[in-house]
Structure 1
Amino acid sequence: MTRFLVRRVVAAVPLLLVVSAATFLLVALVPGDAARSIAGRNATPEQVAQVRTELGLDRPVWTQYIDWLGSAINGDLGTSLINQQAVTEQLNARLGATMSLIIGATVVAAVVGVTLGVLGARGGWLGRTVDAASLIGFAVPTFWLALVLVVLLAVKVAAFPALGYTPLGQSPSQWMASLFLPVVTLAVPATASVAKVTRDAVSDAMQRPFVRTLRAAGVPERAIIARHALKNAAVPILTIVGLTFIGALTGAVLIEQIFALPGLGGTAVTATAAGDLPLIQGVVIYFTVIVIAVNLLVDLAYAFFNPRVRVS
């Protein structure tokens, strides 16, 4: 297992290099000029050129990338071109909001989705209901659901705030309240996916010979599902939960904009509009590291729940 972890960590290094290099290239091709944004709309071409030279933006892209990579290896992701603040400090300050949103949505989707999937695996009208609910969850647009929740629970009832974010350390109750609407919005389509995969996986496990043997031995149905069927269905369930977490990173960009959450998604949008390459690069690196960490945790969970997939 230790060698497996080491191999996965080492394999992540080329991925980070490829992603960071591709980001530099793509940003260079995207229309926009950070020097123009900093100098102002009324700046002369000479003033814009001077700002570009001061920031080092007049150098070849590959030279800028090598300089950035040398600093990144030492833990320095550079300085924002727009506000001249350290990229690491800005992203660390916004990481909490994004991780709270993503982890919250993933936990809700996993708990509710697995529960519905297990209930639906028994077949009959309940199974058909889970399938129908899954289709509805897939079809509902996220932005529409967000607006409906805001109107119902923030405007008419005023039960939860529609905008803003309260850090956990400041007030746990207000932190939960500020995350309720965005977490529910992000969790609904993910719950549909988890419920459908869980239902199919548990249904397949319940058709296997060992289940018939357990039933013949008088083992209660609940114990068969909880101790045996779910364990055998763990791999597809863990896979969809991991994909749900990763997919929530993309969904967080939209959700943070709608609910005005100060997270990485909103930072990525702002940095892209301003052409702030160091800040864009920092967000990409943070997202990539999160994805690598989640994939590693899913692999470890595979080995825990199913010894047949363990590697030495």
Structure 2
Amino acid sequence: MKRIALFVLIFMTINLLSCAQSKSDLVGSYNIRPKADGEIASSMHLFENHKYVVTFYTGGQVGNWAIDNNDRVTFTPTGMPKPFTIFGRQNKYLADSTRIMFSGFQGYENYIGTQKLANNKPLMKQVLNRDANCAPFPIVYTFKGDHEALSFFNKPFQDEENQDKNVVYNFKNEQNYNDFIAVYTKSTNDERPYFAMAKNGGLFFEGTIFAKKEPLLKDVENAQLLRKSIEHNFNPADIYYNPFYGAEAKDIKDDTSNYIFDVKKNAYLDKLNYVAGEELKPDDNSFNSKNIYYRFEALKTVTESKVPSQLNHQPIFNYKCDN
């Protein structure tokens, strides 16, 4: 009798362990919505460290996933920035002017304001016409004077229900920078946690949308890119660009074996390859050059307001595209 009881106990323990293993064994790729007419294909990739990545045509999302004892999986998006992030630096060559490069503004109705924050009804100018998908790179705006603050506002299209239609983002220019990079990041989806049920070898979203589990991407290059994306810092303290707006992902200031900081140029120079004055003589390879980089620092003082702004709908840049 004791042997039977012991056998039953061992069997139940093994069974519970196997169930627990199967519940936690969600690591893999899931095709959330197959591409069909009028739909956008998207896929979700779950990693061993409980991080996930969702990729789709217009962007992506990263976050953490967890499963409870009822097979309910919670997905919590993390790290997404505000719609606008502004980076700046001192540029002595601009004299009494201010320069801004707009990144990610194509296809959206965004506005910029350069008046003092105390203004009760600031005038904001539209940056690009809405259908400017053929706009060249880079899009750079230079105007007279320096400015103690820069304000940005996105006027959503009617189908963009997840964006606050009234918020103006105000950036105080405490360091008196005159050279900026303004980055617009479109809100992909509601960034609150969402859920799925682990069942039948996959995930059920919203009760009816089933995504079958597949092995993580077999393509080594794509798999590596996905793994890097879960560690991506969406809110960096600084970014690096060469004089022709070629970006560098790594932290140049820490790469002391290859780069040295030049105080006069306010730039990081490649110790072996930089040629004096090359930043003033563009050629066909200038965008890809890694010989000189400028460090742009994120403006930290950001306030949000809902003051009624005057919107000037005449865009600063107006591009007529074929489509």
* Shorter-normalised TM range: under 0.3
Instruction: Indicate the structure (1 or 2) with the bigger Cα radius of gyration.
Output: 2
Structure with greater helix share of residues: 1
> What TM-score does the superposition give when structure 1 sets the normalisation length?
0.26
Structure with greater strand share of residues: 2
